[in-house]
Amino acid sequence: MRNLISLILNILTLASPVFAEELNLQQLIDEALKNNHEILIAKAKINTSKFRIPQAKSLPDPMFMFGYQNEGFRKLYNFSESPDSQWMFSASQTFPFPGKLSLKGEMASWDAESQKAFSEVIRLKTITRVKELYYDLFLAYKNIDLIKDRTILFSRIEDAALSRYSAGMAPQQEVLMAQTEKYMLLEKETMLRQKIQSTEAMLNTTIGRDVSSPLGRPAEVSYTIFPQNMEGLINTAYANSPEIRVREKMIRGAEAKVEMAKREYYPDFTINGSYFLRNKEVPDMWSLTTTINIPIFYKTKQKQAVNEAEASLSEARHELESTKIMLSSAIRDNYSMLRTAEKLMELYKNGLIPKTYQDFEAALAGYITGKVEAITVISRLKSLIEFETLYWNQFVEREKAVARIEAITGVERQASGVKGQEGK
């Protein structure tokens, strides 16, 4: 039976790829910032919005007209014979009421600024996503390590059960019980390796690689020192968050739109210059005219446009307040998660894990001497594995919370792969 278990362990080891280099978080982040498609799309939108600014500030295209005027239908062309036949040339240019072009340019500029701020939102969210997937990958490998370490302890129980069974002091059921628990750990390891593959696929997608690209094992994650308080984080978010900047710039653009809608009450001017070429017997003619549009339907057109713009402005202001509330709530949630994880990590590391390990050693010694039942020893070891797993789960959840807070507040730190906290 023991040989079979060893064979399965060897197969699992061979099935998992071995990498010479550790996976570096900062390198993955740098690669994602270059190749992530959402970031590239956001950058393209910035360029698109910038190209709209000079278009919005430009005058309408001038118009040129030319034609021929004839007298009667007997001859299609009698320019030299008829005094009323003439060639006509005309050019016109529309000039919007003063201030309209500058407001259109301002609207386009604020749209470009909001796109730029939104690109920063995408960038920070991508960094957070890379970190979260990296931490998930780190946790899966860490749990596999725990399983391998604790399989050795189950082997000690199995050895003790075999010795007691050989001496006629214990039934074979206790040997099978210990071996079954080892098989259950192998099942967990197989599930963890499947999770590693799916996490690697998601991480490859985020950094812009092919989903099947090989990835190494993550380096040890450092324990992030986080001394800030919640109120300070909220104030930092209000000052630095790109999501708030997006809403603020949208408000400025909506304000410009309101002013632009009000300017539509004023008419535009079209200046037209014409030249009429006539035959030699009749002098040439010319004309200069101005056309003005009259907004007589202002109640159903211009006034409603102002109402629409003011409603959009009100919407933008409410969205800003909603965003602030949302960010404040997200910070409180993640900050609470962070501090709770710290307390639980302290409880597991300095309380439950060492005491449960002592209980296991005492129970194993008692089982060897026949004072404790096998189920007691196994339950102690299962509790030990559970507490160690929970410790690393809380460790990773804490680091994820820190990453999310950094994205919300718009504050970045350089990712590190240096070990900073022991878990055992």
Question: Which pLDDT score is estimated for 372?
Answer: 75
Secondary structure letter of residue 410 according to DSSP: T
Nearest-CA neighbor of 271 among 66, 72, 63? 63
Q: Which residue has the higher pLDDT, 124 or 376?
A: 124
Do 208 and 35 contact (CB within 8 A), yes or no? yes
For residues 270 and 94, what is the distance between their CA atoms, to the nearest angstrom? 4
Mean predicted confidence (pLDDT) in 230-253: 92
Superfamily (CATH) of domain 2-21+98-268+298-409: Outer membrane efflux proteins (OEP) (1.20.1600.10)
Mean predicted confidence (pLDDT) in 380-402: 91
Do 394 and 345 contact (CB within 8 A), yes or no? yes
Share the mean pLDDT of the chain. Answer: 85
| Positive or negative torsion for Cα 77, 78, 79, 80 | positive
User: What proportion of the chain, given as a percentage, has pLDDT over 70?
Assistant: 88
pLDDT in tens, 336-387: 999 999 999 999 999 999 998 888 888 878 877 777 787 887 888 888 888 9
Residue 359, classed as helix, strand or coil, is: helix
Mean predicted confidence (pLDDT) in 50-69: 93
Query: Any residues with CB less than 8 A from the CB of 283 and at least 6 apart, and which?
Result: none
Which range, 85-89, 96-100, 222-226, 364-368, has the best average confidence (pLDDT)? 96-100
Nearest-CA neighbor of 321 among 211, 220, 264, 243? 243
pLDDT in tens, 281-339: 788 889 999 999 999 999 999 999 999 999 999 999 999 999 999 999 999 999 999 99
Q: Is the pLDDT of residue 212 over 60?
A: yes
Do 147 and 189 contact (CB within 8 A), yes or no? yes
Q: How far is CA 102 from CA 53, 157, 249, 306, 339, in A?
A: 10, 82, 17, 18, 51
Pairing state between β 86-95 and 269-278: antiparallel
Q: Where are the domains of the chain?
A: 2-21+98-268+298-409
Q: Is the pLDDT of residue 154 over 90?
A: no
SS3 percent helix, strand, coil of the chain, rounded to 5, is: 65, 10, 25
| φ/ψ (deg, to 5) at 393 | -60, -45
pLDDT in tens, 175-210: 777 777 777 878 888 899 999 999 999 999 999 988
Distance of CA 185 to the CA centre of its chain: 35
